[in-house]
Amino acid sequence: MRRDRFSGRIAGVGSRSGVRVVVGHWVDSPLGSFTDVMVAEPDGTRVLLAPTQEVADFVATTYRFDRVVIGPVAGVVSGSGRRSAWEVSSAELRLSVRVGRRTLLGWALRLVPRAVATAPAWTAVTDPVARVLLRGVRTRGSAAHGRREFYGATDHHRVRSATGTWQGTDLGPLAPVSPEPGFGFGSTPERPSVTTLTSTVEVPGG
């Protein structure tokens, strides 16, 4: 098995329109720094927005999508902590996210040394806890095409607002990420949030 590590942040938001969006802003990965977006439409259609063919191939092999769109995806994160803001744009999506306070889970995550928190073995401890505290969330499991994935979270903040458009239509006010988007084995938390993490993907035959 080859292990690929992606370090960055994930923002998961829902909207009154029924569109659910999960943005990955990766600062360190085998594919370089990039932003990708997973969108679940109200009818359940799952769309991947990827900046390059290489990113599209890797993500679409790990998760499940009905449509893949390759083209520029701009992701700018300014500030830090509860004062940070995200601006994400592509041909089909415009999204502005304002981040709120650190959650109790976030404070607890910060107590764990980063080297421990991001190690795949640590997910044997965190996975049972995540299943209880965050409905639908898992920190380890089987991905598509024989891959396995491990989420090592180190911080967690609430999202206080999100606005934007999808295919030119207003998303409406912030809402829970519900129903679960169905991209993979583990969902983003139902309550809109930003998670700082390292995702480790085991690739067979790597």
Residue % of the chain over a pLDDT of 70: 100
- Reduce the DSSP state of residue 75 to 3 states and report it: strand
Residues 6+ away with beta carbon under 8 Å from 141: 127, 148, 149, 184, 185, 186
Whether 206 maps to a domain, the answer reads no
Phi-psi region of 78 (alpha: psi -120 to 50; beta: other; left: phi over 0): beta
Percent of the chain with pLDDT over 90: 87
Q: Which amino acid is at 196?
A: T
Is 110 a domain residue? yes
pLDDT given at position 206: 60
> Does residue 165 fall inside a structural domain?
yes
In a domain, 46, yes or no: yes
Please tell me the predicted confidence (pLDDT) of residue 186. Answer: 73
Going by C-alpha positions, the residue among 109, 88, 90, 103 that lies closest to residue 160 is: 103
The pTM of the full predicted model, rounded to 2 decimals, is 0.95
Range of the domain at 138: 2-201
Domain count, the chain: 1
